[in-house]
Amino acid sequence: MNEQAFFQNIARRLGREFPADAAASPAGVGLPAEEPERAFVGAPDFWTARQWGHRERLENFTLELGRLGGSARVYATLAALHGGLETLLQELSAPLVCGWGGEFIADMQLQNVFDSFAVVPWDDEPDMAEPFTRADVGVTGCDFAIADTGTVVLLNESGQGRLVSLLPTVHIVVLRASRIRTSMGEVWREIALRGLDPVHLPSTVIFISGPSRSSDIENDLTIGVHGPAAVHALIWDDVGLP
């Protein structure tokens, strides 16, 4: 259907005029000039006004991820976290491990661990996706985590390939405790600060809460339908306040 006519019909039904030439350009409708008035935006005040401390956020995130069937471990130092990651990878004894590349490896100082387990990093080479379709374990960081729901938030961009957290059977997330926010709304406010235009907002922002699940067969809950069957969070408590 013609774009102009589609919008005109909507506006007319709502008792308004749609600007006659709004969709006339080959690029289609442009942005509308002014915003409609709104009494409020987003969640109720009692929700957004909550102020959780560092310890409360960390404990709640750990608890909630556990309730979803995932696991979370907290380490006081980065070295201890590396030890934890090595132990976990040994236990899993996976033939093929892949991971985020780029800044993530440097930021969490993972080069040694990645080397000793021959982890295939996401290095943004064309046609590099193939090993990722066979990987058993994917190691990623996360840009944010959410204490309310045990969620990790991954902004997929260069170095941070989306397939790393999606295709393997086990997903390991390595994160700093200082990345944990109280609610989803807080995360969106920070993402919006960087800009919601296509240059600043990546093509995919994914919110992952525990392992993949389904109850489609006689209501019987099962884990690991399409996405990972296990989600482990290894948290470096980089704030360390009591």
Partner 1 sequence: MTGVGAGAKDTTTISGRSHAALADDFLRAAVRFTTDRLKDRKRGATEELGRWEEWRERGRAIRSHTVANLDHYLRQFVANARAAGAAVHFAADAQEASAAVLGIVQEKQATLVAKSKSMVSEEIHINSRLEEHGVRVVETDLGEYIIQLAHETPSHIIIPAIHKTREQIKDLFTHDGGQDLGTDTKALVAFARSKLRETFLAADIGMTGCNFGIAESGSVVLFTNEGNADMVSALPKTHIVVMGMERVLPTFADLEVMANLLPRSATGQKVITYMSVITGPRRAREVSGPTELHIVILDNGRSSQLGDAEFQDVLNCIRCGACLNVCPVYRHVGGHAYGSVYPGPIGAVLTPLLLQGEEFADLPNASSLCGACYEACPVKIPLHDMLVALRRRAAQRKAKPGGVRVDRERVAWSGYATLFAKPGRYRLVTRVARIVQAPLARDGYIESTFGPLVGWTGSRHAPALAPEPFRDRFSRMKQDVKVARQNDGKAAESDPR
Instruction: State yes or no: residue 2 binds partner 1 (CB under 8 A).
Output: yes
Instruction: State yes or no: residue 38 binds partner 1 (CB under 8 A).
Output: yes
Instruction: State yes or no: residue 26 binds partner 1 (CB under 8 A).
Output: no
Tokens of 44: 């109720």
Q: Which residues contact 175 (CB under 8 A, 6 or more apart)?
A: 141, 142, 145, 152, 233, 234, 235, 236
- The residues in 101-120 that bind partner 1, with binding defined as CB under 8 A, are none
Q: How far is the CB of 192 from partner 1 (least distance, A)?
A: 7
Instruction: State yes or no: residue 168 binds partner 1 (CB under 8 A).
Output: no
Rounded Cα–Cα distance for residues 8 and 21 (Å):
10
What Cα–Cα distance (Å) separates residue 30 from each residue in 19, 21, 56? 11, 10, 45
DSSP state letter for 225 = S
Q: Which of 51, 219, 241, 242 binds partner 1 (CB under 8 A)?
A: 219
Q: How far is the CB of 81 from partner 1 (least distance, A)?
A: 25
- The residues in 126-155 that bind partner 1, with binding defined as CB under 8 A, are 126-129, 133, 148-151
Closer of 75 and 122 to partner 1 (Cβ): 122
Tokens of 193: 């600060």
- CA-nearest of 143, 88, 145, 142 to 119 is 88
Q: Which of 88, 207, 238, 239 binds partner 1 (CB under 8 A)?
A: 207
Q: How far is the CB of 47 from partner 1 (least distance, A)?
A: 8
Burial class (CB in 10 A: 0-12, 13-18, 19+), 179: buried
How many residues belong to the site for partner 1 (CB under 8 A)? 86
Instruction: State yes or no: residue 27 binds partner 1 (CB under 8 A).
Output: yes
